[in-house]
């Protein structure tokens, strides 16, 4: 008799070479793809070579490395980390190394290059590696010692998580984006509401949103403490991967009688535009509650909300308008490919004409690295994922999280604003 | 480096949802390969604790609330705490990546909601890591820590993932298997 399993359990069972696994099982599983970046490769490389005594990595074709967190180097020490990352990637013959100016933020670069695929077991030495799960895989964040282990052996230990199922009925309303939905969900369950568990997202609302919006949702699984976020394979997934996927893949689905620890049901139509208030991603409030809050900086960037569809919506709001006096707007595309596309579509011209600072693709201000670090007492509206004290700079800076259209509109008015105050209607083709 | 049997130290108390950017603000990630330097800035991002690291005595014990270490995957979070001289972290619960990073480093952590609630700042603790028992010498209390699965305990006792991987590599070499696989 076969055991009914969730998608997450099936992927871990396959990786472990077992017929089935149960939540709570500890397994050693083969990894299909691994990722590291300029902050996590230097320690991982050192641990692997100097401490573990491994000379080669298990499969250089299944590893990606990005120069994104503190690159282009923000100071001399970051340049050293960049150099160590570059040298390690070269020495190991890593196939998917993305240099400054050619890659961008890991969690945009890997999906857009078709490197993380349905049914796969993916690990990344970055907490937002859970992003890839929108593409129907098991993807989770790991540490540098973990990554060194994967490099040396091609396998890693996992505790099979319990799965929480999130069902979204009906469709999101006008103006309301995937970001609003996931902020609402995290507000409901809390920053440890899914601690060490799998978040499986499903339901009608998801069928009507594109892959980039889905990636926004799985990106924030870690903000509820989850091990991974995962979605079903459908036509949207297939179309996104056609022409991108670098390997053949095998989609996976949950059995109808799979066991869930808990099932949450939401009516997507009732979700409003919202924000996370300082100082925690679960500090949800409807936009109306914080409308009028005065801003010093607006940041549109990060692996959460700075892909091409996000920039299109921001540009629609900013077209023929100006950033309000007293506010600075910083726009950081999440990858070089996104920047190229934005250039083709004329979005960059729109941003520059509006008075926005347009930067190269990097994590930048999101983690208080560079190009938009906040000072004491400053207030920022940001399309990023985390607003714990000090995340974007000074511990007394205040960060609100929102979707890109709200961010763009608020840059125009200088205070937190509904985009309909600035733009009558979001064009249907870019919603 | 294997685990000590008993750890004694003075408690430092922190709240719920202390995230990795508070444990070690991202700007110090430039010191990723320098544990001592990271240690100087441990917990600096926690409001009103910006000089904490300079007050720690070698061997002190950090006691956190729920979801300790949430946020980033950067291993510099437990590394910074160890670098500051803390011998052990006890919490109501740990965020998963902090948890696995500590185990992988062979750095002792204990999960005990009872201890996290009862212990106060400055309490003198004696912790039996083998038995999972936390004795509060200041209060005369005793708390039990939750038992970890066997594999995690084995990792902790052998000193983390590094010796485990070395062993795996040796076995593969002995079997004549190509290394890497």
Residue A42: list chain B partners with CB under 8 A.
32-33
Grade residue B177 by pLDDT with cuts at 50, 70 and 90: low
Does the distance separating the beta carbons of A78 and B160 come in below 8 Å? Answer: no
Q: Burial level of B80, CB count in 10 A (0-12/13-18/19+)?
A: buried
Q: What is the mean pLDDT of chain B?
A: 94
* Rounded Cα–Cα distance for residues A128 and A303 (Å): 8
Nearest residue in B to A146, CA atom = B104
Interface test with B, best of A35, A49, A75, A143 (most B CBs within 10 A): A143
Rounded to a whole number of angstroms, the distance from the CA of A394 to the nearest CA of chain B is: 9
CATH topology of domain A7-249+260-266: Aconitase; domain 3 (3.30.499)
Nearest-Cα distance to chain B for A393, in Å, is 8
In this complex, do B32 and A192 lie within 8 Å of one another by their Cβ atoms?
no
Shortest distance, CA A90 to any CA of chain B (angstroms): 18
pLDDT number for residue B97: 96
CA A341 to chain CA mean position, Å: 19
This prediction's pTM: 0.97
Chain A residues within 8 A of B164 when measuring between CB atoms:
149
One fold for A7-249+260-266 and A274-418:
yes
Q: Which residues of A touch B19 (CB under 8 A)?
A: 386, 388, 391
- Residues of chain A in contact with residue B49, where contact means CB-CB under 8 angstroms, are none
> Which chain A residue shows the shortest CA-CA distance from B168?
A153
Q: What is the pLDDT of residue A230?
A: 98
- Rounded Cα distance between A375 and B149, Å, is 44
pLDDT at B180: 56
Question: In chain A, what are the domain boundaries?
Answer: 7-249+260-266, 274-418
Strand order in the sheet with A328-331: A284-286, A274-276, A398-401, A379-382, A297-300, A328-331, A357-358
Chain A positions touching B95 (Cβ under 8 A) are 192, 195, 225
Question: Residue A181's closest CA among A140, A149, A209?
Answer: A209
Q: Which fold has domain A274-418?
A: Aconitase; domain 3 (3.30.499)
The per-residue pLDDT for A41 is: 98
Binned at pLDDT 50, 70 and 90, residue B173 comes out as very high
Residues of chain A contacting residue B45, judged by C-beta atoms under 8 Å apart? 389-390, 395
Nearest chain A Cα distance for residue B50, angstroms:
10
* Whole-number pLDDT of residue B176: 80
Residues of chain B in contact with residue A69, where contact means CB-CB under 8 angstroms, are: 29
Do B73 and A57 count as a contact with CB atoms less than 8 A apart? no
Q: Write down the pLDDT at residue A69.
A: 98
CB < 8 Å & 24+ apart, contacts of A339-348:
A339/A104, A341/A308, A342/A308, A342/A311, A342/A315, A345/A308, A345/A312, A345/A315, A347/A311, A347/A312, A347/A314, A347/A315
Interface test with A, best of B71, B92, B178 (most A CBs within 10 A): B71
Instruction: Give the pLDDT score at B2.
Output: 67
Question: Distance between CA A237 and CA A220 in Å, rounded?
Answer: 19
DSSP A52: S
- Here the tokens at position B49 are 């604790």
Structure confidence by residue, pLDDT tens digits, A360-417: 999 999 999 999 999 999 999 999 999 999 999 999 999 999 999 999 999 999 999 9
Position A316 scores a pLDDT of: 98
Distance between CA B145 and CA B114 in Å, rounded?
A: 8
Q: What is the pLDDT of residue A200?
A: 98
| Closest CA in chain B for residue A28 | B151
The pLDDT of residue A1 is 61
Closest residue to A58, CB basis, from B46, B160, B181: B181
Q: Tell me: the pLDDT tens digits for B30-76? A: 999 999 999 999 999 999 999 999 999 999 999 999 999 999 999 99
Contact B21 A389 (CB under 8 A): yes
Are residues B22 and A54, on separate chains, in Cβ contact within 8 Å?
Answer: no
DSSP state of B24: S
Number of Cβ pairs closer than 8 Å across A and B? 157
Which pLDDT does position B4 carry in this prediction? 84
Indicate the residue of A144, A146, A154 with minimum beta-carbon distance to B181: A154
Hey, are the CB atoms on A368 and B74 less than 8 Å from each other?
no
Its CATH class, for the domain covering B6-147, is: alpha beta
CB contact under 8 A, A53 and B166: yes
Q: What is the DSSP letter of A261?
A: S
Q: Distance from CA of residue A109 to its chain's centroid?
A: 11
Give tens-digit pLDDT for B141-158.
Answer: 999 999 999 999 999 999
Choosing among A192, A219, A369, A374, which should be mutated to test the B contact, i.e. which has the most B CBs within 10 A?
A: A192
Nearest CA to CA, how far is A319 from chain B (Å)? 35
- Model confidence at B179: pLDDT above 80: no
Using CA coordinates, name the residue in chain B closest to A385.
Answer: B71
Chain B CA closest to residue A53? B166
Nearest residue of A to residue B27, measured between CA atoms: A369
pLDDT at B5: 87
Contact B97 A191 (CB under 8 A): no
8 Å CB contact of A146 and B100: yes
Provide the residue ranges of all domains of chain B, joining segments of one domain with +. 6-147
CA A67 to chain CA centroid, nearest Å? 16
pLDDT given at position B56: 98
Residue A406, phi then psi, degrees to nearest 5: -65, -40
Tell me the nearest-neighbour CA distance from B27 into chain A, angstroms.
Answer: 6
Intervals of chain A under pLDDT 70: 1
Structure tokens at B32: 């990723």
Asked if residue B126 lies in contact with residue B23, where contact means CB atoms within 8 angstroms, the answer is no
The pair of structure tokens assigned to B61 is: 């014990």
Chain B residue nearest residue A370, CA to CA: B27
Cβ contact (<8 Å) for B101 and A146?
A: yes
């Amino acid at each position: 008799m076969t055991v009914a399993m969730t998608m997450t359990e099936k992927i871990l069972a396959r990786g472990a070479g077992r017929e089935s696994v149960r939540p709570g099982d500890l397994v050693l599983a083969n990894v299909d793809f691994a990722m590291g970046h300029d902050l996590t490769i230097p320690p991982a490389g050192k641990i692997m070579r100097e401490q573990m005594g491994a000379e080669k990595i298990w499969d250089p074709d299944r590893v990606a490395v990005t120069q994104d967190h503190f690159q282009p180097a923000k100071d001399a020490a970051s340049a050293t980390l960049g150099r160590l990352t570059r040298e390690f990637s070269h020495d190991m013959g890593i196939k998917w190394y993305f240099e400054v100016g050619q890659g961008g933020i890991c969690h945009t670069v890997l999906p857009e290059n078709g490197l993380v695929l349905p049914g796969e077991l993916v690990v990344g030495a970055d907490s937002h590696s859970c992003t890839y799960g929108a593409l129907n895989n098991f993807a989770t964040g790991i540490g540098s010692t973990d990554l060194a282990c994967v490099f040396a052996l091609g396998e890693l230990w996992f505790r099979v998580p319990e799965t929480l199922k999130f069902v979204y009925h009906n469709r999101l309303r006008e103006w309301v984006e995937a970001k609003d939905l996931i902020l609402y969900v995290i507000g409901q369950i809390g920053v440890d509401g899914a601690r060490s568990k799998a978040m499986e997202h499903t339901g009608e609302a998801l069928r009507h949103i594109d892959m980039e919006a889905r990636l926004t949702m799985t990106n924030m699984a870690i903000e509820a403490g989850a091990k991974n976020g995962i979605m079903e394979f459908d036509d949207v997934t297939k179309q996104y991967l056609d022409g991108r996927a670098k390997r053949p893949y095998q989609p996976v689905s949950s059995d109808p009688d799979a066991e869930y620890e808990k099932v949450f049901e939401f009516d997507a139509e009732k979700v409003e535009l919202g924000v996370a208030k300082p100082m925690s991603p679960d500090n949800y409030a409807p936009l109306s509650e914080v409308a009028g809050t005065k801003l010093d900086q607006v940041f549109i960037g990060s692996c959460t909300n700075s892909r091409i569809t996000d920039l299109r919506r921001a540009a629609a709001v900013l077209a023929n308008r100006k950033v309000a006096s007293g506010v600075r707007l910083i726009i950081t595309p999440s990858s070089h490919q996104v920047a190229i596309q934005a250039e083709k579509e004329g979005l960059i011209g729109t941003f520059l004409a509006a008075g926005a600072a347009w930067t190269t693709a990097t994590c930048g201000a999101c983690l208080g690295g560079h190009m938009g670090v906040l000072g004491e007492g400053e207030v920022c509206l940001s399309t990023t994922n985390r607003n714990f004290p000090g995340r974007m700079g000074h511990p007394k800076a205040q960060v609100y999280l929102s979707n890109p259209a709200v961010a763009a509109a608020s840059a125009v008015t200088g205070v937190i604003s509904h985009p309909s105050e600035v733009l009558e209607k979001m064009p249907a083709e870019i919603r | 480096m294997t685990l000590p049997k008993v750890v004694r130290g003075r408690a430092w108390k922190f709240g719920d949802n202390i995230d990795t950017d508070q444990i070690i603000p991202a700007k110090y990630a430039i010191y990723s390969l320098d544990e001592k330097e990271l240690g100087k800035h441990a917990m600096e991002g926690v409001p009103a604790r910006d000089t904490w690291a300079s007050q720690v005595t070698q061997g002190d014990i950090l006691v956190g609330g729920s979801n300790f270490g949430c946020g980033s995957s950067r291993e510099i979070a437990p590394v910074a705490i160890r670098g500051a001289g803390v011998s052990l972290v006890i919490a109501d619960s740990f965020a998963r990546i902090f948890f696995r990073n500590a185990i992988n480093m062979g750095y002792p952590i204990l999960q005990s909601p009872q201890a996290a609630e009862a212990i106060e700042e400055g309490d003198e603790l004696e912790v039996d890591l083998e038995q999972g028992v936390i004795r509060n010498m200041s209060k005369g209390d005793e708390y039990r820590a939750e038992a970890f699965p066997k594999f995690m305990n084995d990792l902790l006792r052998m000193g983390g993932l590094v010796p485990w991987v070395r062993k795996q590599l040796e076995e593969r070499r002995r079997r004549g298997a190509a290394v890497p696989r």
